[in-house]
Structure 1
């Protein structure tokens, strides 16, 4: 090895190398690269050409911030008619002072679209209200019909019970007077099944001609018979001595008068 060549293993060569901590050089290089990247972005932003929308926005804001000059034909006509800057519009100066504000559309809807949407929403809301109201009316009517039906069924059951009680009383009172055949077949309770079959065979043609009355009419006729013949009131459950005793002590000839 010649004297001019450095000995990489000698102390003189090693002493010339700077003592650098591991990772420090890498961090510095990363920071420098980030700075260069930021400068590059800023340069691109400054040098890039503005879009048409950006130029339009800047022009609009600049125009709105500056007042109308005398060169404007409309403003010149207003001044000829006596208008002064800062004065309200109109003969008395009671009109607008500030210009009508701009309402920039940001969507793709046509003119009047918002009003159409508003009218549609109001119409749908009104239809919904009518639907809810109709539903409530139907529910109320259904409830009233149900209550009426329950009252009717209750009244019918009561009439049937009064009629059966009157028939039993009529059979008993008729028997006490020696009457063996009721004035009308339905004046007495229905007979047994076997007897009913035999009598049905014998009097079939006659029974076919009989038109059965509703229970309410049967009750009225039968109670009138009991009061007139036996001086008996179904709702009092009492047989009175005579017609005078019945009229004096019985409240009346209907169930409502006994409540």
Structure 2
């Protein structure tokens, strides 16, 4: 190493280097740049010329904030008619005091557009309510149909059960009186027989009474039991005579015994 070149580890070389903390200069430069940018923005805002709309808005607001001067012709006519500043309009001063506020239209929609939008919204709401009402009515009708169907099926099962009980009671009471053949084949419960001739006869007899349903059969059979045996299937009692039956039995239907 020559004498002209300094050793980078020597004290003389290290003393020449400026002692700067890392990161301090960078933060200072960033802050200065931000301040400079803010000053430029403020200067641009101050020097910027206001647009026509901004000037119009400021003029309008200033005019609305100030009261009408005495030099105004309309105000002068009002004063001649007895009006005083700050007094309400009208003969007795009960009218408006403040001016009618202005509504500035900012969009490009034509006159009547808002009314059209309002009418369309009301129509859509009306149609929606109609749909909801129709849906509710359909659901209510479906529910009522279901309940009616269930109620009908329940009543039919009850009638079938009462008819079977009446047939068993009729067979038992007829047998006690020595009656071996029922007045009508369906008065007694059906019995499976191997004799084909008897089965054929029963089928022919059943065809003759196909017009009778379970309800009709029940009415006829209960009337027979009450008139011949003085028996009520819903009371489950055999009465002494017709007078005893009519006096103590609530009636000749299931509803009378509920």
TM-score bracket, normalised by the shorter chain, equals 0.7 to 0.9
Partner of 1:210: 209
Change (3 A) 1:210 1:50: same
Change (3 A) 1:69 1:162: same
Partner of 1:94: 94
Partner of 1:4: none
Change (3 A) 1:52 1:225: same
Encode CA deviations 1:72-129: one digit per residue, 9 max, x unaligned. 4433443443433333222222222221122233444444444444444444445544
The 10-residue stretch of structure 1 (158-167 or 20-29) with the greater mean CA deviation from structure 2: 20-29
Matches within 5 A, 1:1-259: 21-22=19-20, 34-192=34-192, 194-195=194-195, 198-202=197-201, 207-259=206-258
Encode CA deviations 1:26-51: one digit per residue, 9 max, x unaligned. 76666665555444433333333221
Distance, in Å, in 2 between the alignment partners of 1:239 and 1:110 is: 92
TM-score by length of 1: 0.72
Distance, in Å, in 2 between the alignment partners of 1:174 and 1:63 is: 112
TM-score by length of 2: 0.73
For 1:56, what is the secondary structure of its paired residue?
A: helix
Encode CA deviations 1:203-251: one digit per residue, 9 max, x unaligned. 6556434333121211111111122223332223333444344445444
The 10-residue stretch of structure 1 (204-213 or 92-101) with the greater mean CA deviation from structure 2: 204-213
Partner of 1:3: none
Aligned residue pairs, count: 246
Distance, in Å, in 2 between the alignment partners of 1:147 and 1:203 is: 38
Distance, in Å, in 2 between the alignment partners of 1:89 and 1:207 is: 99
Check the 8 A contact 2:167/2:188 in 1, yes or no: yes
Distance, in Å, in 2 between the alignment partners of 1:233 and 1:32 is: 112
Q: Which runs of 5+ in 2 are unaligned?
A: 7-11
For 1:92, what is the secondary structure of its paired residue?
A: coil
Change (3 A) 1:236 1:64: closer
